[in-house]
Amino acid sequence: MSASTTTTSATTTASTAVDARSCEVLIAGAGPVGLVLALALRRAGVDVRIIDVAEGLSGASKAITIQPRTLEVLHLLGVAEELVAAGVVAGVMHMHVGRDHLTTLRYDKLPTAYPFYLHLHQGQTEALLAEALAARGVVVERGLGLVDYRQRGAAVEAQLRRADGSLVDVRCAYLAGCDGGHSQVRKCTGVDFVGERHRDDWIMADARIEGFELAPDERHAFMLEDYPFVILPMTDGYYRVIAARSADSPLRGDPPSLVEFDAIASSLGFRWRLHDPLWLTRYNPSQRIADRFRHGRVLLVGDAAHVNTPIGAQGLNTGVMDALNLGWKLAMAVGEAREGSGCTSELLLDSYHAERHPAVLSMFRGNDRLTRMVFGRNAALRKLARAKLRSLELGALNLRHTADSAQLSLSYAGSPALAPEDDHASVIGPTLAQRLDRALAGAASSAARLGDRAPCCPLRDRKGAPRGHVYELLSGRAHTLLVFDDGHPEVAKWADAVAAHHAGWLSVRRLARRPLANEGPEQGVWRDAGGEIAAAYGVVGRGAALVRPDAFVAARVAIGDERALDAYLARLGVRRPAVPKHAREREPDQAEACA
């Protein structure tokens, strides 16, 4: 079999069986990224199968850092709270040069419902995600891996191999490769995986620390002469300890030992001792990217599409952003096929690459800059890095840096999968002052542009006390229209009409600036008394903001302009979806569940 789009029959062998369980989306790879994609698709009512070569869950801790933005979108899938309860939260990171403290990165000041970094063993993350997926009727099929595939018309024919060596053919509408840096799906596409292996020799240990002298539930980083030393808290009294060997270290290439980590700590004047290791490893990281993330009906996701150095702790988090970006687009494409509307969703699926490829390249550039500053032999660059750290004592610069590193500043502005900006009087974009503020504060406090992350504003009760956050109103399976209601009777009438006409793809939520007789979650009406939420979404007066299922602002709509919603769908290359026949399989939105 080959990755071609020809219509010739697939090559099989006498030992190949045909699996009658065809599906709409087949996911190869059941790590965190594949599991998140499966959850997103299943919540939207998509018939999905997920397979993995491994017979069981990963026993290694691997990626442990889950960022605030990742938790925001996982909240939309109903799994964030379980992950937070299982892990360790760290609201700050103390930065040092040698033993001297330079600054503290304040994640706890970020404008999000999750103002911290979460540390959780990857095996636990996978177990919780797999459990959530099983509760939704999808069990990971283990001991089953992709051999090859062929695209034939409106389907993909995938050849899989079981653990016993037998082969099986499966037919699906789309194939998602979430099978890691050595992706078989990517190899079958023949795509170029462009980049290089770095010479940096990283070592890592997950161990307990006897006599630890620093704050136990906070992150600590030390910049030494030409390498970093990082300590991150984990569960059960364990710590992730990370270092990179200097260019002239005689240990380069050797397996790490606890004694080596103790020696680094001793050089800083600490007297602690590592013991009871769960994991010891070393590696020379690569930074590579596929030249295309989409190949017809085959999509590359997470490490299958890109791998990066660990210096920014972005790998797992970037993969989850891929999965959420792709999930709703695949769900809409599957819906188009079900309805047989004759429309094509090529632009919609192409926008996955158009949005995510530049985002990953931007992350690569940031990693490269940081690598040169930390590992470079250029003393001037290292001095510049230290000066930058000192500048983060300024609150606004600290906020900008942490928002960037936590992916809260990620934007798809200019994407074809967004409505064009509207200059209607009640629908505004950021002013010059707001844009300057954005540049200073990393988009933390100014009005969102189209393509920006949906602001995670607090909700308030009648007395103004905090009561949840806006993401509780958003749908993880459909678009959400936030209608800002100034009390005019036409607003409620229009919102009800939109909810009825667009029920197949849209949830409508009203936010009132003044007390209303029918206010409350049961009526789908929440409070925005001070107008802070409307301002954050760039709406003044009467207006609405359209939020995508991956929690990015897609459009701003004037009250009464229902045609703008159809124009948005047309821009994506899809028709207005009917109320899904599979609606009974879909889960309620967060707000529906709370009503």
Question: Can you give the length of the chain in residues?
Answer: 595
> For the sheet containing 479-485, what is the strand order?
525-527, 506-512, 479-485, 543-547, 553-557
277-301 residue pLDDT tens: 999 999 888 889 999 999 999 999 9
> Would you state the CATH architecture of domain 201-284?
2-Layer Sandwich (3.30)
Q: Which residue has the tokens 């393509």?
A: 451
Burial of 530 (0-12, 13-18, 19+ CB in 10 A): exposed
User: What is the distance between the alpha carbons of residues 491 and 497, in angstroms, rounded to a whole number?
Assistant: 10
Asked if 378 contacts 315 with a C-beta cutoff of 8 angstroms, the reply is no
Identify the pLDDT of residue 529. Answer: 78
Residue 519 has pLDDT above 90, yes or no: no
Average pLDDT over residues 550-558: 97
Residue 217 has pLDDT above 80, yes or no: yes
Residue 594 has pLDDT above 70, yes or no: no
Identify the pLDDT of residue 308. Answer: 87
Q: What is the separation of C-alpha 419 from the centre of its chain, rounded to a whole number of angstroms?
A: 22
**CA nearest neighbour of 114 among 397, 550, 472, 547:** 472
Q: How far apart are the first and last CA of the chain?
A: 51
In the numeric block, which tokens belong to residue 410? Answer: 């990620």
Identify the pLDDT of residue 278. Answer: 93
The CATH number assigned to the domain with range 16-58+121-194+291-369 reads 3.50.50.60
The yes or no reply on domain 432-594 and CATH 3.40.30.10 is: yes
Q: Which residue has the higher pLDDT, 147 or 226?
A: 147
Same fold, 16-58+121-194+291-369 and 432-594: no
337-359 residue pLDDT tens: 887 655 567 899 999 999 999 99
Provide the residue ranges of all domains of the chain, joining segments of one domain with +.
16-58+121-194+291-369, 201-284, 432-594
Average pLDDT value for the chain: 86
Q: Which residue has the higher pLDDT, 554 or 504?
A: 554
pLDDT tier at 376 (50, 70, 90 boundaries)? low
